[in-house]
Amino acid sequence: MGPLEIAKQIAAYKAVDEYVKDNSVIGVGSGSTIIYAVHRLVERVKEENLNIVCVPTSFQARQLILNNHLTLGDLETYPKLDCAIDGADEVDSEMNLIKGGGGCLLQEKIVASCADELVIIADYTKNSQQLGEQYKKGIPIEVIPMAYKAIQKRIKDNYGGNIQLRMALAKAGPVVTDNGNFILDWHFPQGLTNWNKINIEISMIPGVVETGLFIKMAKKVFFGMPDGSVKEQS
C-alpha cells in the first residue's frame, strides 16, 4: 500500500475507533477513504459484537454496507443519526469542506445534516489553509439537467472562473448522479473567501439541487499524515 492509502487508512481507523459506539446509527460516506472506515467497522462489529445500523450516502456506500454484511438502514427508519463518517476533497483551516469529487454530495449532505456529528477522514493532501489551495478539480454543484447551461452562465457571470459539466469516462455524455442530476465543477477564481455567503447564493439559483460546499458542518477532521501519525482538526 502506498503512503496515500496508508494515510487514508489510519485516519479512517482512528475516526471509527473514537466515534463509533455500541447501539448507534452511523452515516456511511462515499469515496475512496470510506472504504477503510467500513473495513474497521466490520472488524469492530465482529470483535466487540457491536449493534450498529449503517445509513448509506450513495449507491457505492449501500453496496459497501451490503457486501460487508453490516446492517443497512435508511433515513425513513432512522431520521436521526448519532454520527456520519465521510471523506472530503479538501478541508480549509475554518472547517469548510469541498465534497463531491465522487459525485455523491447531495446524499452526503442530507445524511450529514441528520447526524449529531459529522466526522471527516482524509489523507494529508486534503489539508489546506484556503479552499482551492490543494484541490484543483473545483467545487461540485449538483443541478437539474435542463438548467445546467443557465446555471453555468449565472455562476460564471456572478463570480467568474470556469464551470464544466462533468463528463462520464466510460460513456459519451455527462455524469448522472444517484439522483438523476448533472454535476457542474466550478473552478472558482482565486481570492474568494466568503464561502458561507457564496454557498447560500448559489443554493438559491433555481435548478441548483446542492453544492459541494460543506460550511462548518464537520465537528472533527482526521488527517492521516505521511509520517504515520493522525492530525486532528476541529
Please identify every residue annotated as catalytic.
108
Distance, in Å, from the CA atom of 107 to the CA atom of 112, rounded to the nearest integer, reads 8
Position 132 contacts ligand MLT (CB under 6 A): no
**What is the footprint of ligand MLT within residues 20-39 (CB under 6 A)?**
29-33
CB of 202 to ligand MLT, least distance (A): 17
Q: Which is nearer to ligand MLT, 89 or 210 (CB)?
A: 89
What are the residues whose beta carbons fall under 8 Å from the beta carbon of 98, sequence distance 6 or more?
Answer: 88, 89, 90, 131, 135, 139, 140, 212, 213, 214
| Residue 225 DSSP class | P
101 vs 224 by CB, closer to ligand MLT: 101
Q: How far is CA 163 from the centre of its chain?
A: 20
The one segment of 14-22, 38-46, 66-74, 97-105 that binds ligand MLT by CB under 6 A: 97-105
Residue 101 makes contact with ligand MLT by CB under 6 A:
yes
C-alpha cell at 145: 439537467
87 binds ligand MLT (CB under 6 A): yes
Record the cell numbers describing residue 37, joined without a space: 472506515
DSSP helix/strand/coil, 230: strand
Please list the residues that pair with 186 across neighbouring strands.
Answer: 139, 163
Shortest approach of ligand MLT to residue 9 CB, angstroms? 12
Residue 99 sits in the site that holds ligand MLT (CB under 6 A) = yes
- Confirm or reject binding of residue 107 to ligand MLT (CB under 6 A): no
Site string for ligand MLT, 206-225 (x = CB under 6 A): --------------------
Nearer Cβ to ligand MLT, position 30 or 127? 30
Query: Residues 201, 131: contact at Cβ < 8 Å?
Result: no
